[in-house]
């Protein structure tokens, strides 16, 4: 079973985009749209204090009749935020996300600093890649002919 570190190693931009609690939701959602991402980690200095996701906007702004142009990230972010470490397993991440009905987990390093972000999609892609590798190795073992294309 792979670890969060393996996921981060395969991501193009391992360090996630961040925002601050005082930013307007309109600006935060605009940045998510521009970058094609589903969440921003909310930080105060170097401390992770929350996360704002598209789901937060939908449930806590749009459906509540609030304006994203006057509502701050602090008013709708999910906090306290669930986090993982680079050494946690992908299975652990998937369990945390499933049990807590969330799609993104900030990754904190040994000093508690933000070192990445994993999504449920990242976990699934990595598991599929690992399974394909294992199938290839088993096939090589059974046939006795290593696949040199891997």
Q: Look up the domain containing 30 and give its range.
A: 4-143
Q: How far is CA 50 from CA 87, 93, 128, 132, 133, in A?
A: 21, 17, 29, 35, 36
pLDDT at residue 57, as a whole number: 94
Q: How far is CA 78 from CA 12, 21, 131, in A?
A: 26, 11, 33
Q: How many CA atoms lie within 13 A of 116 on its CB side?
A: 23
Specify if 86 maps to a domain: yes
Mean pLDDT, each 10-residue run in order, the chain (150 residues): 88 86 97 94 95 94 94 96 96 95 94 93 86 77 70
Number of domains in the chain: 1
Specify the DSSP class assigned to residue 12.
Answer: S
Specify if 148 maps to a domain: no
pLDDT at residue 136, as a whole number: 78
């Amino acid at each position: 079973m792979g670890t969060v570190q393996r996921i981060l190693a395969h991501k193009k931009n391992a360090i996630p985009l961040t925002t601050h609690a005082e930013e307007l939701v309109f600006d935060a959602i605009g940045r998510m749209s521009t970058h094609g991402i589903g969440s921003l980690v909310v930080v105060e200095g170097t401390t992770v204090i929350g996360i704002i996701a598209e789901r937060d906007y939908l449930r806590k702004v749009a459906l509540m009749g609030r304006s994203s142009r006057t509502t701050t990230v602090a008013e709708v972010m999910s906090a306290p935020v669930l986090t993982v470490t680079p050494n946690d397993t992908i299975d652990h991440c998937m369990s945390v996300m499933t049990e807590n009905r969330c799609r993104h987990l900030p990754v904190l390093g040994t000093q508690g600093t933000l070192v990445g972000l994993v999504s449920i999609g990242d976990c699934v892609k990595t598991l599929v890649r690992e399974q394909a590798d294992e199938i290839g190795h088993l096939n090589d073992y059974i046939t006795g002919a290593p696949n040199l294309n891997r």
